[in-house]
A and B are shown apart, each in its own frame.
Chain A
Amino acid sequence: MEESDGKSGGGEPPGDYAASNAPVIVGIGASAGGIQTLQAFFQALPDATGAAFVVIVHLDPESHSDLASILAARTRMPVVQVGATETLEPNHVYVIPPDRRLHITDREISAVEFDEPRGQRAPIDLFFRSLAERHGDGFAVILTGAGSDGAVGVRAVKEAGGIILVQDPGEAEYPSMPRSAIATGIADFVLPVRELAARIAELVRNRDSVSITDGGQFNEELLRRILAHVRVRTGHDFSKYKRPTVLRRIARRMQVSRTDNLEQYYDLLRDNVDEAQALLGDLLISVTTFFRDREAFEALTVQVIPHLFTEKQAGDTIRAWVPGCATGEEAYSIAMLLLEEASRRDTRSAIQVFGSDLDVRALAIAREGRFPAAIVADVSEDRLRRFFTREGDHFRVRRELRDIVLFASHSLLKDPPFSRMDLISCRNLLIYLDRELQQQACTTLHYAMVPGGFLLVGASETADNPPGLFRNVDRKARIYQSTAQPGDKPRLLPQLLGGLRPREHGFGPPVTPSAALSSAALHRQALEKVAPPSILVDHTQRVVHLSETAGRYLQPSGGPLSGDAVDLIRHELRFELRAALHRALDQGEPTLTTPIPVSFNGTAHRVYLQVRPTDNGEARPRHALVMFIEGEAIEPLPHADQPLERDRSADETIRRLTDELALSQARLRTTREESEAANEELRAANEELQSINEEYRSTSEELETSKEELQSINEELQTVNSELKLKLEAVSRAHNDLQNLMAATDFGTLFLDSGMRIKRFTERVTDVFSLTPSDEGRPLADFAHQLEYDDLLRDARAVLAHLAPIRREIHSRNGRWYDIRLRPYRTVEDKIDGVVITFVDVTERRHVEEALRESEQALRQEKRLVDISREPIFVWDFDDGAIREWNRGCEELYGYAREEALGKRKENLLATSAPGSSFATVKARLGDEGSWNGEFKQRTKDGREVIVESRLQLESVDGRQLVLESTRNITERKRWEHRQHLLLGELTHRVNNTLTLAQSIAHQTMRGSESIEDFGERFEARLLALARAHSVLIGTEWKGGDLGTLVHSELAPYASDNPQRFTVKGEAVWLPPDLVTSFGLVLHELATNAAKYGALSHESGTLNVSWQANHRNNQRLLTIIWREQGGPPAEPPTARGFGSSLIEKGIPNATVKREFRAEGMVCTIELPLPETFDNDLVD
């Protein structure tokens, strides 16, 4: 920028503008709503203030402006719309023309074209800056308006020593501009517009009466006290700052606070606690803008910044420091340069910029990072877009930039500096300091740097003092480089401004012992010897030098040794000496005292004191010379009661008394004068002490407060420290966890940054990519991979663009399968910083899945088979008996549908019992042995009992004991078996019975036989009869037999050629099996008897057998009649043999009657027939 010389050329703006005859400039900025406000302003303004008013408003660049004529109606001052260049005159009003900005020089104001495009113009700021360059005591007035124009400019004006007045936003039609100006914290007055006008008039009027130099003589002591007060109140010492700057700022405060001279201001400072802060604020104020001094920044960009990056390794931090950063623009500017270079280089070096300042208010603004829209004048459009976000009338620093800049309250002079800086920009700070402090500051900056670090200072500053610390790199841009070499010994921390006290001067000028006496000194010594003894006393009455023989007159009083001449001298002389010194030093007059009797070793001598001020032509003598002139010894006075002497010496006595009286009176007068002077001094001392006391008290309070604050800060720091420690532990734990997690997860994880470069990867990734740890940082695209996945990078970019995770299953060229997931890498602050890709080897899973699918299919088939099988198969739970599966075979056998059966208890549903055992026993055995085969009796849905052969198999599935039961219905087989068993039993029974019968027949036949031949014949005949009956039964499957058939069968052996021999007649009568046997045997006996003795023994004999069945008494009664005819006359048998018994008793329940008639035997058999009988063998 072009301003530097004006503001700080040689560190000293013009001191007294009054002398230059230039009018005071009042710059007035207004925008929306400004016309009415300006009218009101000029209406309220007196006509002859002596100032020149410059009005800047935002005008439509296209159209003509009538503002000048409008304002002219409200003021008698001439109103001019600035043409090309106008000379500034007092009591004139200058109005900005459309589409121009105003530029002011010492005596002229000119309208020039804008550099900025329309829409980014801030004419008020531009004018104020121009005002600040040339006119240190200008006024800046901000009236109503939208936006924030002027907010930057007022700082510049203020820094230059001007006064800022702002319209009360409550009154303003558009309060935005006033608010922005007030937000800078530097407005001196915030008033309604009419009061603003009045105050400006007053300030301009009083401006000339304000004078720091008190009638041409500058009161150094008062300034010292003011600065001491500020130091005590605020802790900042400005005593070593450049005096003119300090005075200019104090003068401004005096103007604002309406005090006329330094003493008044000092009183105000002491009475008003806030004033010290206000003064501090003004002392600290400094103007800064983004990229201030463009050339310097360009040089920095080209010569320094790239160098910083070249030096650094990846991972190193680049550190920059801006001491005196004020509202932070400089720090942000440097940070922007560094960030730009970093992105150009695509490097990953961390960047840290420190900004420090004493002014806490300015730091607050810096930390907020919110700047008026007017910064568009200083910041390029690219940078605005990259580093700022627009917030209405302001721009806010983006996070990326804000995060790398740290602001701290810090004094370059008092506090230990930051360290290991690569770059320090300390511009326009040194100019405020005197040479001594500049040296200290440079040493401190040098200390704070890394060897070879760069230093940027202001255009009017140098870093050559003390010499040798820095080497000049660019003289024009004021870039220096530290001369320290990397191997240098660590330097000592330069001495800093320590405590609050200024250094006390010593007891006196140091005495340098001289090696040899010069001849002048010899001469002086000789003179001293012959001259009366003397002492040299300085203005504080301290003994500075003694002549050789002056010791005779010294007799210090007891107590601590003091250099005070009066204390050192013999006591007889003290009184006179004090008075004489007073005269000599204060009034510059010599004194010769009357003789004073002094007793030396018992002898009284008269001594005269001569005191002379040393005559150096000064108004106040700095030293006085005291000479001792000794007279003769005094005779001891004769005693008064000596009569001889009385008369002779009466006159003498009177004369002496008169002398003594006069002497006493003179002494008294001197004493009184001295006393008065002492009183005066005491009063002054007292006042001073009181003020000091007050200072001490306030200091003490401050210290107390500071102490408390320090304690609380200390506690806070301890808390913060422990928190940090905990966090550090957590971080380290998290890191450990991460390492272990990455080691433990058996899948590949690949971290990419947003440029698709590899940030980190796990071991498993090397299965897919051939990577080594040294490949971190290289682009992924450089590496071939094993996957049949050409879109990997495109997918990764898509994830980065849309933040939607992508998942794919990819086959690799070596035959494996990977589940690949890509998701955005989110930092804890929810920032997207690349892509995470995981590779999970799912080959096994795929195989297992296939196997599973196959087995599932097989299982489904088997299940289907089971389902459609006619064999009943079902599954039930071993523990609770509930049925789990039920196939079609079951449905068919048991009649229960699947839905009915599932969940029911098997033994209940089927009423299962185990023949010869119990179901519980079977279950127990099943539990022990795991399987069981056997028979169950079960009941079907319709109540049928079925016998099944079951095979039980116990299976453990998912922790449940399941029983697979397959059954076969064997009911039918069982029935057959049973029937067979019965048949066998019956057969046995019958065979045994038949055998027993045969045995009986044999035995009975034997009893009636006369010979073995006779027995054989009869036995055989009876057995055959039995056989014939049986053959009838066999014909009916042993169900019984027809009576007719039986009769015919038994009579058959006796048949002959005569067809009339037998007559058999009777209805069909069905006989039960036992009756068939009995009847058979009975019929055989009857037939045998007939053949032997009856009708059948003759050819002519006939036999008639007839029967009928009648119902009598509800019973069927069978009556059979055996009638023989034509044979020999019948005779009863001579002996009752087996045959007769058989005939009579052989048929159970039958009544047998035999009649032996002449024509033949008639046998009648009556037998009740069973009503019905079934032939079931099973009875």
Chain B
Amino acid sequence: MTSSTKLNSWTGSDSLLKGARVLVVEDDFLILMELEAILSEAGADIASCRTVKDALALAETNGLTAAVLDIRLGRETIAPVARELAQRGIPFVFYTGQIDADAMRTEWPDRRFVPKPAQPRTIVKAVADLLHH
């Protein structure tokens, strides 16, 4: 899948997420692709989807060790997914373009909100932090 050109080796953080299975929920296809690429390069196994419904289905599967969640999914919000994950003890970070996601910040004061856009290593580091805590 990846090309062999020099231009590809830009992350420099491979295998940081080795062994992790990360749920990625993002409605925009291009951004989802990017996240999959970044996290895969860091060694993570990826389960991704673009809707709440799909995300809830994936959340019920075993083996998830962390999740990266976009807050707004079209006309839905990620809230039910976050609650399901929290109940299952699966750590997650939010990756969002909203500055003032007040409702979510109020509901999840201890969770990390990574603002869009972010450098790939920031995202990797955030997920890695989830795993090491």
Contacts and interface: CB of A to CB of B under 8 A. Distances in A.
Interface string B3-46: 10101101000000000000000011111011001000000000
B97 A993 contact: yes
A87 B37 CA distance: 183
A623 B58 CA distance: 184
A1008 B4 CA distance: 9
Interface in B91-130: 97-100, 115-117, 120
A1009 B7 CA distance: 8
Given A989-B72, A992-B117, A996-B116, A1007 B30 contact: no
B68 to A, nearest CB: 13
A995 interface: yes
Contacts of B98: 985, 988-989, 992
A1001 interface: yes
Interface in B26-74: 27-31, 33-34, 37, 50-51, 72, 74
Interface in A989-1020: 989-993, 995-997, 999-1001, 1003-1004, 1006-1010, 1012, 1015
Given A1000-B34, A1004-B34, A985 B7 contact: no
Contacts of A996: 28, 31, 34, 97, 116-117
B75 A1179 contact: yes
B100 A1007 contact: no
Contacts of A991: 97
B2 interface: yes
Contacts of B27: 1074, 1148
Contacts of B5: 1007, 1009-1010
Contact of A1146 (B29, B51, B115): B29
Nearest to A1141: B33
Interface of A (DSSP majority class): helix
A11 B113 CA distance: 152
A1145 B29 contact: yes
B29 A992 contact: no
Nearest to A1082: B29
Nearest to B99: A988
A1006 B116 contact: no
Contact of A1078 (B29, B97, B100): B29
Nearest to A1174: B75
A988 B28 CA distance: 16
B97 A1004 contact: no
A1148 B33 CA distance: 13
Contacts of A1032: none
Nearest to A999: B117
A991 B74 CA distance: 16
A1016 to B, nearest CB: 12
Contacts of A742: none
A988 B117 CA distance: 11
A992 B115 contact: yes
Contacts of A450: none
Contacts of B1: 1136
A42 to B, nearest CB: 143
A496 to B, nearest CB: 125
A1006 B8 contact: yes
Interface of B (DSSP majority class): loop
Contacts of A990: 97
A1146 to B, nearest CB: 5
A992 B30 contact: no
A1173 B74 CA distance: 12
B110 to A, nearest CB: 23
A1118 interface: no
A997 B28 contact: yes
Contacts of B117: 992, 995-996, 999
Contacts of B31: 993, 996-997, 1000
Contacts of B7: 1006-1007, 1009, 1012, 1015
A429 interface: no
A404 interface: no
A1000 B116 contact: no
B18 to A, nearest CB: 21
Contacts of A840: none
A1146 B32 CA distance: 10
A1081 interface: yes
A1142 interface: yes
A252 to B, nearest CB: 138
Interface residues on A, range: 35 or more
Nearest to A1012: B7
Contact of B30 (A997, A1009, A1136): A997
A1148 B29 contact: yes
B116 to A, nearest CB: 4
B8, B27, B30, B50: residue with the most chain A Cβ atoms closer than 10 Å = B30
B75 A1007 contact: no
Nearest to A1002: B34
Nearest to A989: B97
A992 B33 contact: no
B100 A985 contact: yes
Contact of B97 (A988, A1142, A1148): A988
Interface in B68-96: 72, 74-75
Contact of A992 (B34, B97, B100): B97
Contacts of A992: 97-98, 115-117
B28 A1074 contact: yes
A855 to B, nearest CB: 54
A1012 B98 CA distance: 33
Contact of A1142 (B30, B74, B116, B120): B30
B99 to A, nearest CB: 5
Contact of A985 (B28, B37, B99): B99
A981 B102 CA distance: 12
Contacts of A1147: 29
Contacts of A981: 100
A596 to B, nearest CB: 171
Nearest to B118: A996
Contacts of A1004: 30, 33-34, 37
B96 to A, nearest CB: 8
B30 A1081 contact: yes
A335 to B, nearest CB: 114
A473 B1 CA distance: 172
A1015 B8 CA distance: 12
A988 to B, nearest CB: 5
A995 B28 CA distance: 12
Contacts of A995: 116-117
Contacts of A1145: 29, 33
Contacts of B33: 1000, 1004, 1138, 1141, 1145
Contacts of B116: 992-993, 995-996
B99 A1001 contact: no
A996 B29 CA distance: 11
Given A985-B98, A992-B115, A1007-B3, A1074 B74 contact: yes
A1003 B37 contact: yes
A1000 B30 contact: yes
Interface in A84-134: none
A996 B99 CA distance: 14
B75 A999 contact: no
B22 to A, nearest CB: 17
A410 to B, nearest CB: 118
Nearest to A1078: B29
A777 B34 CA distance: 125
Given A988-B99, A1007-B7, 6 more contacts: A992-B116, A993-B116, A996-B116, A1000-B34, A1009-B7, A1138-B33
17 contacts: A981-B100, A989-B98, A991-B97, A993-B97, A993-B116, A995-B117, A996-B28, A996-B116, A1000-B34, A1006-B7, A1007-B7, A1009-B7, A1010-B5, A1138-B33, A1147-B29, A1148-B27, A1148-B74
The 6 A-B pairs of least Cβ separation, nearest first, read A992-B97, A1000-B34, A996-B117, A1000-B30, A992-B116, A996-B116
Interface of B: 1-3, 5, 7-8, 10, 27-31, 33-34, 37, 50-51, 72, 74-75, 97-100, 115-117, 120
